[in-house]
Structure 1
Amino acid sequence: MGKKTQFMLPVENMDLSSAKYEEETIQAPHLSGVALRVFVWLIELPHIGSLVTSFFKRKNGITRELQETLIPEAPMFRPEFPPQELEPGTFSMEEESAPITRVESAMKCLPPYNPANRSPPFLYWTIRDFAHAYLSGLSTPSVVAECIISELDEFNNKNPTMPFLISFHADDVRNQAAASTQRFQEGRPLSILDGIFMCVKDDIDCYPHPTKGATTWFHKVRPVKEDAVCVSRLRSCGVILLGKANMHELGLGVSGNNPNYGTARNPHALDRYTGGSSSGPAALVAAGLCSAAVGTDGGGSIRIPSSLCGIVGLKTTYGRTNMEGSLVDGGTMEIIGPLAATVEDVMLVSACSVSSLFTVYDRKPFLEVLVVLSILYAAMLGSSPADKFNLKPQPPPSLPMLSSGNSLDDLGSLRLGKYTEWFNDVYSTDISDKCDDVLNLLQKTYASQITEIVIPELHEMKTSHMVAIGSETLYSMNPYCLDESGKQCTHDTRASLAFFRSFSASDYVGAGCLRRRMMYYFMEIFKRVDVIVTPTTGVTAPVIPPKSFKYGETDYQVQDYLMRFVVAANLLGLPAISVPVGHDKQGLPIGIQLIGRPWAEATILRLAFIIEELTLESRKRPSTFYDVLKVN
Structure 2
Amino acid sequence: MSEKPQASALLKEDATALAARLRSGDLTSEQLTAATLAAIDEQDGSINAYNFVDAEAAMEASRASDARRREGRPLSEFDGLTVAVKDNIDVAGMPTSSGLGYKERAPVADTDASVVTQLRAAGLIIIGKLNMHEIALGATNDNPHWGRCENPLRAGYTPGGSSGGSGAAVAAGICAFALGTDTMGSVRIPASYCGVAGVKPGRDQIAMPGVTRLCGRLDTVGPLARSSRDLKALWPLICRKQASVPDGNGSRASAALSSIRWGVIDHCEKVGTESEIAETFREFADHLPGADKVRRDFSAMDFSAIRRAGLLWCEAEANITFASELQAQPEIFSAELQRLLRWGADRSAPELVRAMDTVEAAGAWLRNQLEGIDFLLTPTTLQTAFPFSSAAPANQANLTSSVNMAGLAAASIPLGTTAEGLPFGLQIIARAGDEARLLEICVALEQHLCHQGTPATA
Number of residue-to-residue matches in the alignment: 449
Which residue does 2:76 correspond to in 1? Answer: 191
AA of the residue aligned to 1:614: H
Which has the higher relative contact order, 1 or 2, with Cα contacts under 8 A spaced 6 or more apart? 1
Q: Is contact 1:229–1:323 with CA below 8 Å preserved after alignment?
A: yes
Counterpart check, 1:619 vs 2:429: no
AA of the residue aligned to 2:292: Q
Which residue does 1:601 correspond to in 2? Answer: 435
Give the 5 Å matches for 1:41-190.
124-155=12-43, 158=45, 161-190=46-75
TM-score (norm 1): 0.66
Counterpart check, 1:247 vs 2:132: yes
Counterpart check, 1:449 vs 2:292: yes
Give the 5 Å matches for 1:312-461.
312-328=197-213, 331-348=216-233, 375=234, 377-382=235-240, 397=243, 399-403=245-249, 408-422=254-268, 424-426=270-272, 428-442=274-288, 446-455=289-298, 456-459=300-303, 460-461=305-306
Between structure 1 and structure 2, the one with the greater Rg is 1
Give me the identity figure in percent: 26
Quote how far apart the aligned CAs of 1:223 are. Answer: 4.1
- In 2, the alpha carbon distance for the partners of 1:598 and 1:231 equals 21
**Structure 1: segments with no counterpart, 5+ residues:** 1-113, 349-374, 384-395, 546-552, 623-632
Greater Cα shift, 448-457 or 569-578: 448-457
Secondary structure of the structure 2 residue equivalent to 1:138: coil
- In 1, the alpha carbon distance for the partners of 2:40 and 2:433 equals 38
Which residue does 2:324 correspond to in 1? Answer: 479
Counterpart check, 1:514 vs 2:372: no
CA RMSD of aligned residues (A): 2.6
AA of the residue aligned to 1:467: L
Q: Is contact 1:181–1:195 with CA below 8 Å preserved after alignment?
A: yes
Cα 1:620–1:596, aligned 2, differ >3 Å: closer, same or farther? closer
Quote how far apart the aligned CAs of 1:603 are. Answer: 3.9
Q: Is contact 2:414–2:456 with CA below 8 Å preserved after alignment?
A: no
For residues 109-147 of structure 1, give each alpha carbon's deviation from its aligned partner in whole angstroms, at most 9, with x where no partner exists: xxxxx999xxxx999423232222223221111111221
Cα 1:600–1:188, aligned 2, differ >3 Å: closer, same or farther? closer
Which residue does 2:6 correspond to in 1? Answer: none
Which residue does 1:212 correspond to in 2? Answer: 97
TM-score (norm 2): 0.90
Cα 1:330–1:528, aligned 2, differ >3 Å: closer, same or farther? same
- In 1, the alpha carbon distance for the partners of 2:104 and 2:406 equals 31
Quote how far apart the aligned CAs of 1:331 are. Answer: 0.6
For residues 280-314 of structure 1, give each alpha carbon's deviation from its aligned partner in whole angstroms, at most 9, with x where no partner exists: 11111111121211110001110000000000110
Q: Is contact 1:206–1:231 with CA below 8 Å preserved after alignment?
A: yes
For residues 601-622 of structure 1, give each alpha carbon's deviation from its aligned partner in whole angstroms, at most 9, with x where no partner exists: 2343233222211223433866
Cα 1:588–1:248, aligned 2, differ >3 Å: closer, same or farther? same
- In 2, the alpha carbon distance for the partners of 1:144 and 1:507 equals 52
For residues 489-538 of structure 1, give each alpha carbon's deviation from its aligned partner in whole angstroms, at most 9, with x where no partner exists: 22332332233223222122112222333343233322233222111111
Quote how far apart the aligned CAs of 1:222 are. Answer: 4.8
Counterpart check, 1:527 vs 2:415: no
- In 2, the alpha carbon distance for the partners of 1:621 and 1:607 equals 16
- In 1, the alpha carbon distance for the partners of 2:280 and 2:189 equals 17
Secondary structure of the structure 1 residue equivalent to 2:142: coil
Cα 1:453–1:487, aligned 2, differ >3 Å: closer, same or farther? same
Secondary structure of the structure 2 residue equivalent to 1:280: helix
AA of the residue aligned to 2:184: G
- In 2, the alpha carbon distance for the partners of 1:409 and 1:147 equals 38
Quote how far apart the aligned CAs of 1:576 are. Answer: 0.7
Selected match of 1:539 from 383, 389, 402:
383
For residues 550-592 of structure 1, give each alpha carbon's deviation from its aligned partner in whole angstroms, at most 9, with x where no partner exists: xxx9x4xx34231121101111211011110110111000101
AA of the residue aligned to 2:121: S
Q: Is contact 1:127–1:192 with CA below 8 Å preserved after alignment?
A: no
- In 2, the alpha carbon distance for the partners of 1:296 and 1:409 equals 32
Cα 1:479–1:469, aligned 2, differ >3 Å: closer, same or farther? same
Which residue does 2:347 correspond to in 1? Answer: 503
Q: Is contact 1:399–1:601 with CA below 8 Å preserved after alignment?
A: no
- In 1, the alpha carbon distance for the partners of 2:2 and 2:282 equals 33
- In 2, the alpha carbon distance for the partners of 1:434 and 1:580 equals 12
For residues 207-253 of structure 1, give each alpha carbon's deviation from its aligned partner in whole angstroms, at most 9, with x where no partner exists: 11110112222885754111100001100111011100111111111
- In 2, the alpha carbon distance for the partners of 1:332 and 1:469 equals 9
- In 2, the alpha carbon distance for the partners of 1:600 and 1:129 equals 25
- In 2, the alpha carbon distance for the partners of 1:397 and 1:474 equals 36
Cα 1:408–1:215, aligned 2, differ >3 Å: closer, same or farther? same
AA of the residue aligned to 1:535: P
Cα 1:310–1:528, aligned 2, differ >3 Å: closer, same or farther? same
- In 2, the alpha carbon distance for the partners of 1:127 and 1:470 equals 36
- In 1, the alpha carbon distance for the partners of 2:154 and 2:249 equals 36
Counterpart check, 1:470 vs 2:315: yes
- In 2, the alpha carbon distance for the partners of 1:133 and 1:221 equals 37
Which residue does 2:421 correspond to in 1? Answer: 587
